[in-house]
Structure 1
Amino acid sequence: MKKYIPNALTLLNLFCGSIAVIFVLNDDFVTASLFVFLGIFFDFFDGFAARKLDVQSELGLQLDSLADMVTCGLVPGLIMYKLLALSDATWGHSEIDYANFDFSHINLLPLLGLFITLASAYRLAKFNLDEDQQTYFKGLPTPANALFIISLPLIMEFQNSDVINTIILNKWFLIITTLVSCYMLNSGIKLFALKFKDWRFKTNATRYIFIFLCALFIIVLQFAAIPIIIMTYIAMSVLDNVTTK
Structure 2
Amino acid sequence: MNIKAWIPNFFTMLNLLCGCVALVFVSEYSFYWAFSLVCLGIFFDFFDGFFARKFNVAGPLGVQLDSLADMITSGVVPGFVMYKMLVLAESNTRFNPSLNNIETLQHQIYVWPLLGFLITVGACYRLAKFNIDTRQTDSFIGLPTPANALFVVSLPLLWNTVECPYQVVNLLMNKWFLLSVTVVSAFVMNAEIPLFSLKIKEFSFAKYKLQISFLAISVLLLIFLKILAVPLIIVVYVLLSVFNNMTHKKASV
Tell me if both proteins adopt one fold, taking TM over 0.5 as the criterion. Answer: yes
* CA-to-aligned-CA distance 1:88-140 (integer Å, 9 cap, x gap): 127966998xxxxxxxxx74210010010011000000000111101111111
Partner residue, 2:171: 167
* 2:158 paired residue among 155, 161, 165: 155
* CA-to-aligned-CA distance 1:131-170 (integer Å, 9 cap, x gap): 1101111111001100110111111133365433211011
Rounded to whole Å, the distance in 1 between the matches of 2:15 and 2:176 is 32
* 1:184 paired residue among 179, 185, 188: 188
**Cα RMSD over matched residues?**
2.0
Rounded to whole Å, the distance in 2 between the matches of 1:197 and 1:93 is 49
Match of 1:234, as an amino acid? V
Q: CA deviation at 1:202?
A: 2.5
Rounded to whole Å, the distance in 2 between the matches of 1:26 and 1:226 is 22
2:72 maps to 1:70: yes
* CA-to-aligned-CA distance 1:185-244 (integer Å, 9 cap, x gap): 110000112223433222222111111000011111111111211111011111222233
Rounded to whole Å, the distance in 1 between the matches of 2:105 and 2:16 is 33
Q: CA deviation at 1:4?
A: 1.1
| Correspondence list, 1:1-245, <5 A | 1-89=3-91, 107-159=110-162, 161-245=165-249
Match of 1:41, as an amino acid? F
Rounded to whole Å, the distance in 2 between the matches of 1:94 and 1:24 is 11
Rounded to whole Å, the distance in 2 between the matches of 1:232 and 1:207 is 12
Rounded to whole Å, the distance in 1 between the matches of 2:83 and 2:26 is 10
Q: 1:4 to 1:148 in 2, by over 3 A?
A: same
* CA-to-aligned-CA distance 1:8-60 (integer Å, 9 cap, x gap): 11111001001000110111111111100100111111111211222211111
Rounded to whole Å, the distance in 2 between the matches of 1:34 and 1:23 is 10
Match of 1:29, as an amino acid? F
**Aligned-pair identity (%):** 47
Corresponding residue SS for 2:4: coil
Q: 1:244 to 1:51 in 2, by over 3 A?
A: farther
Contact in 1 for aligned 2:16/2:72 (Cα 8 Å): yes
Q: 1:162 to 1:64 in 2, by over 3 A?
A: same
Match of 1:43, as an amino acid? D
Match of 1:45, as an amino acid? F
Q: Give ranges in structure 1 of 5+ residues lacking alignment.
A: 97-105
- TM-score in terms of structure 1 length: 0.90
Q: 1:241 to 1:17 in 2, by over 3 A?
A: same
Rounded to whole Å, the distance in 1 between the matches of 2:25 and 2:107 is 25
Contact in 1 for aligned 2:92/2:173 (Cα 8 Å): no
